Chains A and B, each alone.
Chain A
Amino acid sequence: MTLTIEHLTKRFQDFHAVDNLNFVAEQGEIFGLIGQNGAGKTTTFRMILNLLAPSSGTIKWADASVHTLNRDMIGYLPEERGLYPKMPVEDQLMFFGRLRGCSKAALKAEIDDWLERFYLSDKRKVLTETLSKGNQQKVQLIASLIHKPRLLILDEPFSGLDPVNAGLLKDAIVSLKKQGTVIIFSSHRMDHVEELCDHICLLKRGKSLFTGAIIDLKKQFGKINLTIRGPFDEMELSKIPGVVSVAKDKDMYRLLLSHENDAQPIFQMLTTDGFIERFSLDYLSLEELFKRKVASTLV
Chain B
Amino acid sequence: MSKFLLLFEQSYISKLKTKSFYITTLIMLLGITAFFMWPTISGWFSSNEKPVTITVADQTKGSAISYFKNNKKIIFKPAKQSVKQEEHRVVTGKVDALLILSLKSGSQLDAQLRTKKPFELNTQQILEEQVRSAGQLLTIQQLKLTADQAQRIIDQKTNLNQKVISPTADKGKSSQQKTTATIVSYAVALIIYLFVLSYLSIISSEIAAEKDSRIMEIIISSTSPIVHLLSRVCGVLALAMTQFTVLIGAALIMARVLQSGKYWHLISDLFSSLTAGYTVFAILFFFFACVLYTLLGAVLGSLVNKVQDVGQAVMPVTMVLMVGFFIAISGMSNPDTLLIKIFSFIPFTASMIMPMRIGATDMSLWQGFLSLVLLGLTIVGLFIFSLRFYRGSVLTYTNGSFIKKIKQAIQLSK
Contact = CB atoms under 8 A, between A and B. Distances in A.
Interface in A10-55: 12-13, 46, 49-53
Contact of A82 (B213, B223, B391): B213
B362 interface: no
Interface range for B? 20 to 34
A144 B7 CA distance: 17
B362 to A, nearest CB: 53
B26 interface: no
Contact of B395 (A46, A71, A79): A46
A71 B213 CA distance: 21
A78 B223 CA distance: 16
Nearest to B3: A99
B215 A76 contact: no
A38 to B, nearest CB: 13
A113 interface: no
A191 interface: no
A31 to B, nearest CB: 18
Contacts, number: 62
Nearest to B7: A99
Contacts of B217: 46, 49, 51, 76, 78, 82
A99 B214 contact: no
B218 interface: yes
Given A76-B218, A100-B222, A52 B213 contact: no
Contact of B222 (A71, A83, A85): A71
Contacts of B2: 101
Contact of A96 (B214, B218, B411): B218
A139 to B, nearest CB: 13
A83 B213 CA distance: 7
Given A46-B395, A51-B395, A87-B14, A82 B221 contact: no
A49 B6 CA distance: 21
A105 to B, nearest CB: 15
B121 to A, nearest CB: 47
Contacts of A116: none
Interface in A91-105: 95-96, 98-101
A100 B223 CA distance: 9
A106 B14 CA distance: 23
Contact of B221 (A74, A81, A95, A143): A74
B219 interface: yes
A82 B215 contact: yes
Given A81-B213, A98-B6, A99-B3, A51 B218 contact: no
B32 interface: no
Contacts of A171: none
Interface in B213-269: 213-223
Interface in A245-260: none
A72 interface: yes
B218 to A, nearest CB: 5
A74 B221 CA distance: 8
A78 B214 contact: yes
Contacts of B3: 99
Nearest to B225: A51
Contact of B215 (A49, A74, A83, A98): A83
Contacts of B10: 95
A267 interface: no
Interface range for A: 20 to 34
A83 B41 CA distance: 48
B327 interface: no
Given A82-B214, A99-B3, A50 B222 contact: no
A80 interface: yes
Contact of B219 (A52, A86, A87, A99): A99
B414 interface: yes
B395 A52 contact: yes
A81 B214 contact: yes
A79 B213 CA distance: 10
A84 interface: yes
Nearest to B414: A53
Interface in A78-135: 78-87, 95-96, 98-101
A86 B210 CA distance: 12
Interface in A141-175: 143-144
A84 B215 contact: yes
A72 B222 contact: yes
B220 A51 contact: yes
B236 to A, nearest CB: 16
Contact of B213 (A53, A80, A99): A80
B406 interface: no
Contacts of B382: none
A280 B6 CA distance: 58
Given A81-B213, A82-B213, A76 B221 contact: yes
B412 interface: yes
Contacts of B391: 51
B19 to A, nearest CB: 10
Contacts of A84: 14, 213, 215
Contacts of B220: 51
Nearest to A76: B221
A80 B214 contact: yes
Contacts of B213: 80-85
A63 to B, nearest CB: 22
Contacts of B7: 99
A135 B176 CA distance: 67
Interface string B1-13: 0110011001000
Interface in B396-414: 411-412, 414
Contacts of B216: 82
A130 to B, nearest CB: 16
Interface string B152-166: 000000000000000
Interface in B194-222: 213-222
B230 to A, nearest CB: 15
Contacts of B221: 49-51, 71, 74, 76
Interface in B66-94: none
19 contacts: A46-B395, A50-B221, A51-B217, A51-B220, A53-B414, A71-B223, A74-B222, A76-B217, A78-B214, A80-B213, A82-B213, A82-B218, A84-B14, A84-B213, A84-B215, A99-B219, A99-B223, A101-B2, A144-B218
Given A82-B213, A82-B217, 4 more contacts: A51-B220, A95-B6, A99-B7, A99-B219
Closest 5 CB pairs of A and B: A82-B214, A49-B221, A78-B214, A82-B215, A80-B214
